[in-house]
């Protein structure tokens, strides 16, 4: 089974914020197993080595191209050819926080027990949102 994962780099997030891409940048990818994911996160992307794995999930029959295309319908990908700093790293997305908040709010509305209050989004919530939209 393949493993889909979401990782984040503080240094790359700072750079993305400086160039106008916003501070919510995350890397989505699909690899063969957990060991490959851990090795890739340690190696890093875009010249940065401070990547942290936020969330991963086993999936059946999903290629990285399909996952990136599915998530690309909802969120904006950062073009590695336009920004040489990324050094060809594909799958880096600029996430709109309002999309994640709306998704969490709808999920709360569907459960009868939860009161509808403002949702505070955490990086783990963003990672789950990305994986959910890349798999569906």
Q: Which residues pair with 13 in a beta bridge?
A: none
Contact 51, 37 (CB under 8 A): no
Residues 52-83 have pLDDT tens digits of: 999 999 999 899 999 999 999 999 999 999 99
What pLDDT is attached to residue 118?
80
- List the end-to-end C-alpha distance of the chain, in Å, as a whole number: 17
Residues 101-112 have pLDDT tens digits of: 999 988 888 887
Strands of the sheet with 25-31, listed across from one edge: 51-59, 2-9, 25-31, 92-94, 76-77
Distance, in Å, from the CA atom of 12 to the CA atom of 85, rounded to the nearest integer, reads 9
- pTM to 2 decimal places: 0.92
- Name the band, by pLDDT with cuts 50, 70 and 90, for residue 11: very high
Give which of 4, 98, 103 is closest to 56, Cα–Cα. Answer: 4
Distance, in Å, from the CA atom of 80 to the CA atom of 86, rounded to the nearest integer, reads 5
Give which of 90, 76, 101, 71 is closest to 27, Cα–Cα. Answer: 90
Task: Give ∠ CA 24-47-58 in degrees, rounded to 5.
Answer: 60
């Amino acid at each position: 089974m393949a493993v889909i994962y979401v990782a984040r780099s503080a240094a790359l997030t700072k750079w993305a914020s400086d160039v106008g891409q916003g501070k919510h940048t995350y890397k989505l990818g699909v690899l063969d197993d957990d060991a490959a994911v851990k090795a890739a996160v340690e190696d890093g992307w875009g010249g940065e080595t401070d990547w942290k794995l936020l969330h991963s999930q086993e999936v059946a029959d999903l290629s990285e191209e399909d996952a990136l295309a599915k998530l690309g319908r909802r969120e904006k990908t950062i073009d590695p050819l336009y920004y040489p700093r990324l050094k060809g790293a594909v799958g880096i997305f600029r996430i709109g926080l309002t999309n994640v908040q709306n998704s969490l709010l709808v999920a709360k509305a569907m459960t009868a027990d939860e009161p509808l209050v403002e949702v505070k989004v955490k990086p783990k919530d963003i990672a789950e949102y990305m994986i959910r939209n890349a798999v569906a």
